[in-house]
């Protein structure tokens, strides 16, 4: 058989399967662990920290529904019973920096929320103050 | 969890990855050495022939003559399943051909969804995550829906379209083998194993996205650890993710031995990868017995008397011209 198919298949196989390895080596970030996040203020998050880590996006979307659809503007924490004002900015009262907290983790996991096209965050306030 | 975590999270993925890479490369080289005795391109168009025989542009790719036409046909096969599009079934009473495009539709859906889902998984293996992965992810998840409380909290932020189409297409492919009489009688256990393994992978993946959320950052840490050959000593991740990883490992290890190798095999199919230029280019059968020919002088010597007699009768006796 001619060798063209062999070359083609090898290129595709190595290109697709080993691409992540070469890419990460080239960027010099191979094996990067979860980045250090900024220490938040306060002694607990809105809900249990482990739960927040996995479910904060659902919480935020739920908050949005609460405000926009039902007009509810306070949220009572299930875990701690504390009342919180529903706003995207509530998070930043304790997590004082978006870049050093939210973004670090989001960049690492490849998530790009579009919330801050419209909503305000500490760095933006800082810039226009 | 820790010993189990090490086995399922580190040992098994490495073994599976090794079997996958070595197995696939072995089979690729094995196939590339196989003998092709005849030129057997299957064609569905007018082949290149006399200049006044009409040949449309589609004919050129259905019955390719040059190498690049063959390459285009191969690409159409890989990306559009061209030959499956022409799938036809004969209905007996009326003796008519009914084209059956359902298989084409769902097979194409399945493969494209799988490709996009795989590219989306690059976010775990690439650091920093490149833009094209984010763009694909955003396009795929442009249905930004939040479903509130049912009897339990669904974890829906975005609906990733390809994840669901992948599931639907797989279910159809399984349905086809289970409930259509002809396909059922043709199906072997190995057909089902591949489908069921894929289903297990897809279902655990979808569960993670929509029902039981897992810590994505830690998953990436494990993936990066595996990729850099410095795996964590005892990864302690969610059981659902471990199950997902286990199914993927089994699938990878099974891959080189299974029909899933058709992904490489398609490139080695003589019916697909040869141009249909039989009449212009001679195909040498490697099995041909080495025939020792006779050259003109030997031939003349052997039939000398006959030749001379012919010459005396006025005929021209000379060697055939080289072409």
How confident is the prediction for chain A on average, in pLDDT? 90
Chain CA centroid to CA A126, Å: 21
User: Which of A5, A32, A53 minimises the CB distance to B127?
Assistant: A32
- Average the pLDDT over B243-252 and give the result: 97
CA distance B233 to chain A (A): 14
Contact criterion met (CB < 8 Å) for A9 and B127: no
Query: Which A residues 75-104 touch B at CB under 8 Å?
Result: none
The fraction of chain B above a pLDDT of 70, given in percent, is 97
Gap between the Cα atoms of A56 and A38, Å rounded = 17
What's the pLDDT tens digit per position in A32-53? 888 889 899 888 999 999 899 9
The verdict on whether omega for the bond into residue B128 sits within 30 degrees of 0, i.e. cis, is yes
A65 lies within 8 A of chain B by CB: yes
- Average the pLDDT over B146-174 and give the result: 86
Chain B residues in contact with A57 by the CB 8 A cut-off are: 157
What's the pLDDT tens digit per position in A66-101? 899 889 899 999 889 889 999 999 999 999 999 999
The fraction of chain B above a pLDDT of 90, given in percent, is 63
Strands A74-76, A83-85: parallel, antiparallel or unpaired by DSSP? antiparallel
At residue B147 the predicted structure's pLDDT band, cuts being 50, 70 and 90, is: confident
Q: For residue B151, what pLDDT is reported? A: 65
- Residue B180 clears pLDDT 80, i.e. is over it: yes
Q: For residue B3, what pLDDT is reported? A: 87
Gap between the Cα atoms of B297 and B319, Å rounded = 9
**At a CB cut-off of 8 Å and minimum separation 6, what does B79 contact?**
none
Chain B residues in contact with A7 by the CB 8 A cut-off are: none
- Average the pLDDT over B12-35 and give the result: 95
CA dihedral B190, B191, B194, B198 (to 10 degrees): -160
- Average the pLDDT over B250-270 and give the result: 95
- Residue A126 clears pLDDT 80, i.e. is over it: yes
Q: For residue B202, what pLDDT is reported? A: 97
- Residue A122 clears pLDDT 80, i.e. is over it: yes
Spatial contact of B35 and B271, defined as CB atoms under 8 Å apart: no
Which of B73, B217, B225, B287 to mutate: most A Cβ within 10 Å? B217
- Residue B1 clears pLDDT 60, i.e. is over it: no
**Which residue in this structure is represented by tokens 């012919």?**
B310
Return the CATH class of domain B2-312: mainly alpha
Q: For residue B149, what pLDDT is reported? A: 63
Read off the pTM: 0.90
A62 lies within 8 A of chain B by CB: yes
Q: For residue B323, what pLDDT is reported? A: 54
Which of B28, B128, B260, B266 to mutate: most A Cβ within 10 Å? B128
Spatial contact of B113 and B169, defined as CB atoms under 8 Å apart: yes
Q: Hey, what are B314's tokens? A: 């006025």
Pairs of CB atoms within 8 A across A/B: 110
How confident is the prediction for chain B on average, in pLDDT? 90
Q: For residue B148, what pLDDT is reported? A: 66
Q: For residue B321, what pLDDT is reported? A: 73
At residue B22 the predicted structure's pLDDT band, cuts being 50, 70 and 90, is: very high
User: Which of A31, A58, A61 minimises the CB distance to B227?
Assistant: A31
Spatial contact of B109 and B169, defined as CB atoms under 8 Å apart: yes
CA distance A32 to chain B (A): 6
| Domain residue ranges of chain B, discontinuous segments joined by + | 2-312
Residue B108's closest CA among B84, B134, B124? B84
Spatial contact of B192 and B183, defined as CB atoms under 8 Å apart: no
């Amino acid at each position: 058989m001619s060798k063209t198919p062999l070359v083609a298949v090898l290129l595709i196989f190595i290109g697709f399967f080993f691409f992540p390895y070469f890419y990460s080596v080239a960027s010099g970030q191979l094996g990067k662990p979860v980045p250090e996040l900024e220490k938040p203020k306060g002694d607990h998050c809105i809900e249990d920290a482990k739960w927040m880590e996995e479910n904060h996006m659902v919480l935020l979307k739920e908050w949005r529904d609460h405000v926009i659809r039902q007009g509810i503007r306070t949220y009572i924490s299930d875990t701690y019973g504390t009342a919180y004002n529903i706003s995207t900015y509530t998070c930043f009262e304790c997590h004082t920096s978006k870049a050093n907290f939210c973004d670090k983790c989001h960049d690492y996991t490849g998530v790009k929320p579009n919330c801050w096209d419209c909503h305000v965050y500490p760095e933006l306030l800082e810039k226009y103050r | 969890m820790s010993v189990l975590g090490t086995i399922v999270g580190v040992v098994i993925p490495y073994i599976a990855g090794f079997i996958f890479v070595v197995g696939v490369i072995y089979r690729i080289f094995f196939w590339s050495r196989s003998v092709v005795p005849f030129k057997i391109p299957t064609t569905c168009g007018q082949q290149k022939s006399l200049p006044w025989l009409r040949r449309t542009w589609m004919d050129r790719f259905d019955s390719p003559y040059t190498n690049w036409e063959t390459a285009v046909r191969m690409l159409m096969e890989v990306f559009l399943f061209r030959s499956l599009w022409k799938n036809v079934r004969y209905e007996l009473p009326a003796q008519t051909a009914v084209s059956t495009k359902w298989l084409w539709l769902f097979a194409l859906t399945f493969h494209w969804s799988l490709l996009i889902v795989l590219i989306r998984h690059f976010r775990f293996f690439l650091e920093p995550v490149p833009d094209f992965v984010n763009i694909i992810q955003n396009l795929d998840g442009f249905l930004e829906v939040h479903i509130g409380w049912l009897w339990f909290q669904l974890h829906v932020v975005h609906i990733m379209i390809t994840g669901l189409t992948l599931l639907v297409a797989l279910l159809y492919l399984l349905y086809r083998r289970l409930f259509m009489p002809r396909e059922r009688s043709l199906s072997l256990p190995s057909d089902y194993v591949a489908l069921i393994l894929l289903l297990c992978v897809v279902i655990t993946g979808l569960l993670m996205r929509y029902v039981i959320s897992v810590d994505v950052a830690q998953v990436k840490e494990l993936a990066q650890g595996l990729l850099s050959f410095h795996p964590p000593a005892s990864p302690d991740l969610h059981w659902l993710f471990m199950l997902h990883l286990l199914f993927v490992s089994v699938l990878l290890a099974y891959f080189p031995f299974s029909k899933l190798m058709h992904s490489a095999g398609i490139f080695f199919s003589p019916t697909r990868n040869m141009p249909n230029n039989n009449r212009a280019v001679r195909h040498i059968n490697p099995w041909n017995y080495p025939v020792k020919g006779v050259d003109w002088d030997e031939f003349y010597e052997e039939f000398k008397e006959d030749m001379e007699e012919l010459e005396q009768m006025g005929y021209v006796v000379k060697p055939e011209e080289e072409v």
